Amino acid sequence: MMWEAAKRVIEKIEQAGFEAVFVGGAVRDFIIGQPNHDVDIATSALPSEIKAIFSETIDVGIEHGTVLVLDEGEPIEVTTYRTDGLYTDHRRPDAVTFVRSLDEDLARRDFTMNAMAMTRSGAIIDLYNGQEDINKKVIRAVGHAEKRFQEDALRMIRAIRFSAQLGFTIEATTLSAIKSLAEQIQYVAKERIHAEFNKVWISRFPAQGIAMLEQTTLSHFLQGSFTAADWEKFQTTNPLVGWAYFYVLNEQESFFSNYKCSNKEKIFAKQVAEAHGKLQEGWQVLDYFHYDIDVLYTAYDIARWREQAIAFSRDEIETRKAELPIATTQQLAISGSDVIEWAQKKGGPWLKEALAAALLAVLTKQVENDKEQLKEWFHDIYKG
C-alpha cells in the first residue's frame, strides 16, 4: 500500500510535466526480494514545484531538496535530483545543486545497489550494474571508491552496516579504499556512528559487521574491542541489547559519552553488566526483585553468547519473577513510619536496614506482606 501511494505521487508529478522515479533502499530491497519500510522518490521537479502540485506537504529537509508529501495517504519523501558540491569536511557537501537529470543524481549515491531507480511501471534504471552486484552479493562504491570515501567518511560505516544487514561482502577495490582511509572515520559525528551501530546490532549478520570493522581496520579508530568471535552467537531485535552487550565486552565508563548513548541505553547496559556479573554465583531472590525482566533476559543471553555455563533454563526467569510476593518496594505493606512507631526510636541508619530486612523477609516468604504479621515479625524475630 505504501508502493501504491508512492505510485500515485509519481503519477501526479508526471502529469505536471516532470519526471519522478523510485530510488534508494526501496529499489534495492525490491530487487533483493525483501521488504523495506520506506519508499523514496526522486524527481526532476524543484521543491517549490512539488509543493505546488500537492496540497499537503511538509518541508523536512528543503535545503537538501526533500519534501514530505502527505496527501496520498501515507507520508512519502520526494527529493529533487541533485548533485553534491565539494566536500571539504569529509562529512557533508558544502552545498547541494538541484539538477534536472536522474543520471547525475544516481552518480552521487554511495553503492551500486543503492544507485538504481525504478519507474512507476517497474522499469529498472541501473547505470552502475547494481543488479549484477546484488546477484554477486557485493557492496561496491559508485565511481572511484577512494574519492567517494574521502568525500563522506560515513559511507565507510554504511558499507559495514549493509554487509551486516545483507550478508554481502565488500568488493576488493572498495574494501582497500576503506582500509586506506579508515582513520578518516574520526570526521564522522558520533551520533551517525551510533545510528549505524543500532542497525548493525539488529542486523541478520552482526558478527559479519564486527568482522568487517576489524578487517577494514575501522575498529582501530573506534572505542572498544571488536572481536568477531564474541558476536558469533549474538542476535537481537532490540538495539538496546546490542549496546548492553558491547558494553559488557568493554566495561569502560567513557564508552557511553563517546558513542553518544542515551541515558536509557546507559542505565540498561550498566544494569545488564551488573546482573551478568552476579549470574556467575547465581541470582538470588533480591536480584530477581531488583532487575527488570528484560535486564535479566539480556544478562542471561549474554552468558549464552559467551558460552558461559548457566545452571537453569531461560524460562525460569519468568517463573522466578512471577513467584515474587511483591514486585516493587512500594508494595511492601509497611513504611518507615510504622517501623519508627514499633521501635519507638528516632529514624537513622538502622531504619533503612530494618526496612531492607523486612523486604528480604517478605521476598523469602519468611513473613507475609501484611502489616500485622510484619509487626509481629519485627518484635519477635528482627528486634530479637
Sign of CA dihedral 7, 13, 18, 24: negative
Long-range Cβ pairs for the range 189-195 (8 Å, 24+): 189/91, 190/258, 190/259, 190/260, 191/260, 192/154, 192/157, 193/157, 193/222, 193/259, 194/259, 194/260, 194/261
Stretch that binds ligand ATP, among 124-132, 147-155, 241-249, 296-304 (CB under 6 A): 147-155
**Which residue ranges make up the site for Mg ion (CB under 5 A)?**
25
Residue 154 interacting entry, from Mg ion, ligand ATP, none, C-beta within 5 to 8 Å by type: ligand ATP
Minimum CB distance to ligand ATP smaller for 92 or for 260:
92
Q: Which does 36 bind (CB under 5 to 8 A by kind): Mg ion, ligand ATP, none?
A: ligand ATP
Q: Cβ closer to ligand ATP: 40 or 72?
A: 40
Q: Which is nearer to Mg ion, 25 or 224 (CB)?
A: 25
Least Å from the CB of residue 60 to ligand ATP: 13
Query: What are 181's strand-pairing partners?
Result: none
Residue 3: is it exposed, middle or buried by C-beta count within 10 angstroms (0-12/13-18/19+)? middle
What type of residue is 288? Answer: Y
51, interface contact from Mg ion, ligand ATP, none, CB < 5-8 Å by kind: none
Site string for ligand ATP, 13-52 (x = CB under 6 A): -----------xx----------x---x------------
Shortest Å distance, C-beta 69 to ligand ATP: 17
- Tell which residue, 37, 42, 125, has the closest CA to residue 77: 42
Least distance from Mg ion to the Cβ atom of residue 39, Å: 9
Q: Does 152 bind ligand ATP (CB under 6 A)?
A: yes
User: For the chain, how many residues are written?
Assistant: 384
Q: Could you identify the residue written with the cell 528482627? A: 382
What are the residues whose beta carbons fall under 8 Å from the beta carbon of 251, sequence distance 6 or more?
273
Which 82-141 positions form the footprint of ligand ATP (CB under 6 A)? Answer: 109-110, 114-115
Question: Which residue lies nearer to ligand ATP by CB, 34 or 335?
Answer: 34
| Closer CB to ligand ATP, 216 or 369, in the complex | 216
Question: HSE-up of 326 (CA within 13 Å, CB side)?
Answer: 19
- Residue 276 contacts ligand ATP per CB under 6 A: no
Q: Is 177 in the site for ligand ATP (CB under 6 A)?
A: no
Q: Could you list the beta-strand ranges (E) of 95-160.
A: 96-98, 117-118, 124-125, 138-139
Tell me how far apart the alpha carbons of residues 147 and 288 are, in angstroms, rounded to a whole number: 54
Establish if 155 lies at the interface with ligand ATP (CB under 6 A). yes
Residue 131 binds which of ligand ATP, Mg ion, none (CB < 5-8 A, kind-dependent):
none
> Least distance (Å) from Mg ion to the CB of residue 246?
24
Contact 50, 78 (CB under 8 A): yes
> 10 Å Cβ neighbour count for 275?
24
- Is 271 one of the binding residues for ligand ATP (CB under 6 A)? no
| Residues at the interface with ligand ATP (CB under 6 A) | 24-25, 36, 40, 109-110, 114-115, 152, 154-155
